[in-house]
Structure 1
Amino acid sequence: MSQGSHIGRYRLIRKLGNGGTSVVYLGHDPVEDREVVLKLFKQAFLYDPKNGKQNRRQLEIEAALAGKLVHPNIVTTYEAVISDSMSYIVMEYVAGGTLEKHIYPDNLLPLDRVVAYMYKCCRALNYAQFNGVIHRDIKPANLLLANPDEIKIADLGAAVRTDLEDTQNSVGSPNYMSPEQVRGDELTHSTDIYSLGVVMYRLLTGRSPYTPKNLAHLYQQILHEMPIPPTQHRTNLPPQLERIVMIALQKKPGDRFATWGDFGNQLAALGHFEKSDMEINENEKFTALRKLKMFQDFTDIELWELLRVGEWQKQPAKTLLLREGELGDAFFILADGGVTVSRNNRLLNTLSSGSIFGEMSYTSRKQMPRSASITATTEVTVMKILPGQLDQLSDRCQLHFNQVFLSTLADRLRVSDDRLAKIAT
């Protein structure tokens, strides 16, 4: 296709790359008036006699993820089109290139920049896991520089939804594959932790953790040989930084960081960001709930019960927390911060600390399509609760929570009624 041609509504500006599976273009979206990246898949890739079925399934997964993950450190997928005549993905354009140019000894980044980038990757992958997604192909080519301070994770085409997909699949790039990927074992977020550890090793040393003779030898090294400590390649590395890399590169998933929060907090201790940005300790949770008007009559014992049944997260502004139309079976308590409520890109409401959203999942006790999208306007602290988790509470605490829950919803309905009455008059 030539400059000035169109794919769908998008005008092509220039070709960015041509690979075995797709051609990538820079394009312009006239509706949103923004530059975008269009990844046009080759039909031979999608209809290959041997792997075509798997390739199409991979594209369907990426299409299903379109718009689901909205985070400042994840490349946004705007649209995915799959048809017999043409299949393509439309993504956010990130102009700064990839981290690939910084994995060589003569072009290494400053240490503080590496720590900051890896920390932001931890936050993004923590958010992805929170939404049931494992990337499975973390490598420098998939880490894009938005500006000198920002990084974005790209290419979720290899990702899986842990609630929908078979995670027993070794998709990935050989140099960055975890031992469990090589073996074809079931994958968890720990495989991404390992792969990010390999990326970090290369950014710090300019060398690969392994020196194989061929692909089979590489797999053997990944499975059985621990990499040379980074300080043997770069003597001025801080010991704490080496320790973080080596924990991420452990052969057994159970020996690595248990969570992205653990990984990120170790990096935070070396950088200039708050340790609590990713993880909320028990005392912080208690304090957050105690400040909320809806829980002011709870006893301390009831509050401690409640804070332990949900999953807590901190997420930055502009993060999409719920997506309109998507099935969900959890509801959320906004412990701190603010969010917008929108439908069909129209603002319906704003919510602040103490609000509940996604509540239809609790009242119906089954998966329900989300009636609106919820997006963070500030950094937020949210508590995600599956209805069944409340069954773990004592009878007294359950009763008290149900009273508060219904009272909160009644207050919201009253506000909505008042707003409609004003509009009517």
Structure 2
Amino acid sequence: MSGGRLAGRYTLIRPLGSGGMGKVWLARDEMLDREVAVKELTLPEGLDEQGRAEAVARAAREAQATAQLRHPGVVALHDVLVEYGRPWLIMELLRGRTLGEAIAQDGPLPPSTVARIGADVLEALTAAHSRGLQHRDVKPGNVFLTDSGRVVLTDFGIARQEGQATLTQAGLMIGSPGFIAPERLEGEPGGPPSDLWSLGATLYAAAEGVSVYEGSAMERIQATLTLPPRPPHRSGPLAPVLTAMMARHPAARPDPWSTVHALRQVAAGQEAPVLAGQDLTVPGRVGRRRGWLVWAIPATAVVVAAAVAAAVIFWRPSGPPTAFTLPVDVCGLLTPAQVGEVLDSGQPPKGVQSAVEGADRIGVACNWTVQGRGVGVVAQRDSDTPHPWSMTPESAHRLLENQRAYIGKFPELQWSWKEIGAKGPFTAQIGKTKPLQGVGEEGYTYELSAQGRVHTAVVYYRLANLVIQVEFTTLASRPTDDQVRQTALTAARQTEQALRSQG
């Protein structure tokens, strides 16, 4: 292939290296008269024509996501091509060596040097995370030290954009044993805290000269799942930072900016401040107070007790949260005072939480009921996702639209709510869905009516990666149809405010 030309523009000169994801070539961009790196992506064996087309399409999407990143710590992607039936990524050419090569050639690096490298990489990772992109293969071989002193995170080839499958998901392990966070080894999708763990393992190898877990691939996997990280001995003031970054429980890992600050302190020859993970005992504690992003445990790393009272947000200074990643305490989304107001009850009932597994909805619900009235909140999920907070904004959007389409198929339904005295089943007419504004990022409402009057109003909205359904029902004839609608809308706004306040 040397001497070949891609797109009539990029001339391949010679291979620079190869790995499981493909081969990297030195090439020349004839149009701009500059040298570039070209990555030839290898597609999994055994794919039929449709499978290859889908894999190429996924690679193109991943390239588009990576191309959105503009950060000195992320290798720049110039172009993506599909030729000879496979994808080719055109990237900036870096001159220098990888951190893995530096460790192999020089042995353990000074803690201050490792800390500077770590801070640079973490800032690059945070830029990626802010766009919903996880790296998933942070390791010494993917940290490049340029001759000019720049630290660059490379190889987003197995990066995962929220809501998208990736080129290497089918049948392959995503990541490198010994540098994969334990929650991902347990089958969870992971998140920014998983990249943080991998960076901690990478810096450990640089400062200690050996990996935190050694042995065969299976031995490293087993050790990661069952053993705490080996205490660092050569890392000096960097040691407590590494320990915090590689905490077994993702919620115990520190947030990114506190970690960057600690690494910069060590790089400057100072003691690192004490790093703490997220406090899961105080709902709404994590979020805006520290700035751009706050991390905590991916939802499914907790064995789901649906009543865990925390929801964690990746937050930017303005706009909606990016993703909820912890189990949401659905019963905590309305306060007793709010429940009392909605149900017109001086003694508001406690919420009853339950799993919902119906034809029209799946998720975690909380219901507050008195005789003749009830309000319910459901955090919904799609059938492909284990928990509501495991969805992505994209999959949540699809779920919202699918629910709207499902509702529109039926003019009526058989309805009951025995806890409020509606033992039924009764026939209820389903009203048309109406667009919703001012609650969440998108949504809609509809009503159930019988004998010419509305008795139930339902609000669906999406906030980041959560789809929330709020339903208010009254059997009394006194409220007007508009009052029923407004009561449901008020409850929906209160749940949204509760979710945002936790950020």
Which TM class, normalised by the smaller chain length?
A: 0.5 to 0.7
Matching of residue 311 in structure 1 with residue 316 in structure 2: yes
Amino acid at match of 1:253: P
* CA displacement at 1:176 relative to structure 2: 0.7
Does the CA-based 8 Å contact 1:66-1:78 persist in structure 2? no
Secondary structure in 2 matching 1:38 = strand
Amino acid at match of 2:81: V
State how 1:225-240 maps to structure 2 within 5 Å: 225-231=227-233, 234=234, 237-238=235-236, 240=237
State how 1:340-351 maps to structure 2 within 5 Å: none
Amino acid at match of 2:247: Q
* CA displacement at 1:165 relative to structure 2: 5.0
Secondary structure in 1 matching 2:12 = strand
Secondary structure in 1 matching 2:96 = coil
Of the structure 1 ranges 26-35 and 266-275, higher mean CA displacement relative to structure 2 is found in 266-275
Q: CA deviation digits over 1:149-173, x for unaligned, max 9?
A: 2111111111111254589995111
Name 1:48's counterpart in structure 2.
Answer: 46
Give the Cα–Cα distance (whole angstroms) in 2 for the partners of residues 101 and 283 of structure 1: 36
Q: CA deviation digits over 1:183-238, x for unaligned, max 9?
A: 111311011001001111100010111233x333322210111122111xx2xx32
Q: TM-score by structure 1 length?
A: 0.59
* CA displacement at 1:27 relative to structure 2: 0.9
Change (3 A) 1:177 1:311: same
Higher relative contact order, structure no. (Cα contacts within 8 Å, ≥ 6 residues apart): 1
Does the CA-based 8 Å contact 2:56-2:86 persist in structure 1? no
Name 1:187's counterpart in structure 2.
Answer: 190
Give the Cα–Cα distance (whole angstroms) in 1 for the partners of residues 100 and 19 of structure 2: 17
Name 1:245's counterpart in structure 2.
Answer: 242
Change (3 A) 1:253 1:33: same
Name 1:256's counterpart in structure 2.
Answer: 253
Give the Cα–Cα distance (whole angstroms) in 1 for the partners of residues 212 and 253 of structure 2: 16
Give the Cα–Cα distance (whole angstroms) in 1 for the partners of residues 256 and 291 of structure 2: 19
Secondary structure in 2 matching 1:97 = strand
Give the Cα–Cα distance (whole angstroms) in 2 for the partners of residues 21 and 268 of structure 1: 33
Matching of residue 174 in structure 1 with residue 177 in structure 2: yes
Name 1:6's counterpart in structure 2.
Answer: 5
Does the CA-based 8 Å contact 1:125-1:260 persist in structure 2? no
Give the Cα–Cα distance (whole angstroms) in 1 for the partners of residues 79 and 175 of structure 2: 23
State how 1:196-345 maps to structure 2 within 5 Å: 196-212=199-215, 214-231=216-233, 234=234, 237-238=235-236, 240-257=237-254, 259-272=255-268, 311-312=316-317
Q: Percent identity?
A: 27
Give the Cα–Cα distance (whole angstroms) in 2 for the partners of residues 79 and 264 of structure 1: 31
Change (3 A) 1:310 1:251: closer
Q: Which runs of 5+ in 1 are unaligned?
A: 286-308, 314-326, 328-361, 367-384, 393-425
Name 1:35's counterpart in structure 2.
Answer: 35
Change (3 A) 1:66 1:242: closer
Amino acid at match of 1:263: T
Secondary structure in 2 matching 1:89 = strand
* CA displacement at 1:105 relative to structure 2: 8.2
Name 2:16's counterpart in structure 1.
Answer: 16
Give the Cα–Cα distance (whole angstroms) in 1 for the partners of residues 105 and 45 of structure 2: 41
Q: TM-score by structure 2 length?
A: 0.50
Amino acid at match of 2:5: H
Give the Cα–Cα distance (whole angstroms) in 1 for the partners of residues 165 and 20 of structure 2: 25
Secondary structure in 1 matching 2:113 = helix
* CA displacement at 1:12 relative to structure 2: 2.1
Secondary structure in 1 matching 2:212 = coil
Amino acid at match of 1:256: R
Change (3 A) 1:68 1:218: same
Name 1:410's counterpart in structure 2.
Answer: none
Secondary structure in 1 matching 2:109 = coil
Change (3 A) 1:248 1:58: farther
- Structure number having the greater helix percentage: 1
Q: CA deviation digits over 1:74-95, x for unaligned, max 9?
A: 0011111235634211111111
Amino acid at match of 2:192: H
Secondary structure in 2 matching 1:37 = strand
Secondary structure in 1 matching 2:69 = coil
Does the CA-based 8 Å contact 1:98-1:140 persist in structure 2? yes
Amino acid at match of 2:210: R
State how 1:20-169 maps to structure 2 within 5 Å: 21-42=21-42, 45-49=43-47, 56=56, 59-83=59-83, 85-104=85-104, 106-164=106-164
Give the Cα–Cα distance (whole angstroms) in 2 for the partners of residues 6 and 191 of structure 1: 39
Q: CA deviation digits over 1:313-338, x for unaligned, max 9?
A: 9xxxxxxxxxxxxx9xxxxxxxxxxx
Give the Cα–Cα distance (whole angstroms) in 2 for the partners of residues 273 and 230 of structure 1: 18
Give the Cα–Cα distance (whole angstroms) in 1 for the partners of residues 204 and 14 of structure 2: 34
Q: Which runs of 5+ in 2 are unaligned?
A: 273-286, 293-313, 319-393, 395-437, 443-462, 465-492, 495-503
Give the Cα–Cα distance (whole angstroms) in 2 for the partners of residues 127 and 20 of structure 1: 26
Give the Cα–Cα distance (whole angstroms) in 2 for the partners of residues 143 and 112 of structure 1: 17
Change (3 A) 1:230 1:66: closer
Does the CA-based 8 Å contact 2:65-2:133 persist in structure 1? no
Give the Cα–Cα distance (whole angstroms) in 1 for the partners of residues 291 and 118 of structure 2: 25
Give the Cα–Cα distance (whole angstroms) in 1 for the partners of residues 229 and 315 of structure 2: 38
Amino acid at match of 1:48: G
Task: Work out the number of aligned pairs and report it.
Answer: 291
Give the Cα–Cα distance (whole angstroms) in 1 for the partners of residues 119 and 25 of structure 2: 30
Q: CA deviation digits over 1:363-415, x for unaligned, max 9?
A: xx77xxxxxxxxxxxxxxxxxx99xxxx89xxxxxxxxxxxxxxxxxxxxxxx
